[in-house]
Structure 1
Amino acid sequence: MATREVDIPDLPLPSWEEIQIREYEPRQRDHLVLDTAVVGVHEAVATIQRAQTAHTGR
């Protein structure tokens, strides 16, 4: 039987049954990938901000 350890005190984990009945919606947009071996911190932050602005319009 697989088990998980909680590293956040008092955080209840969902049961396997709760996970199975959870409703999921497909992703409506591409996910953002940042290669930190190629991109510096400032450029990564700017890329994240641009992606967020494009997604939310703000």
Structure 2
Amino acid sequence: MRISIGELARRTGVKVPTIRYYEGVGLLPTPARTEGRQRRFDADEVARLNFIRHSRELGFE
């Protein structure tokens, strides 16, 4: 499964700028890119982002 950043945002409920921020600070690994330089994410990133979002909901920074 290789999904776009927009689809990742829809599946996890996290906004695109937040995903880019998490990537920049190292919470998400640098994703694979297409020849057109579009980010592509797989199931591991979906699970990791869901974990981060849930942790934030519980009050972790």
- Given the two structures, how large is their TM-score scaled by the length of structure 1? 0.33
The structure richer in strand per residue is 2
Question: Over alpha carbons, which structure has the higher Rg?
Answer: 1
The normalised TM-score by structure 2 is 0.32
Structure with the bigger percentage of helix: 2
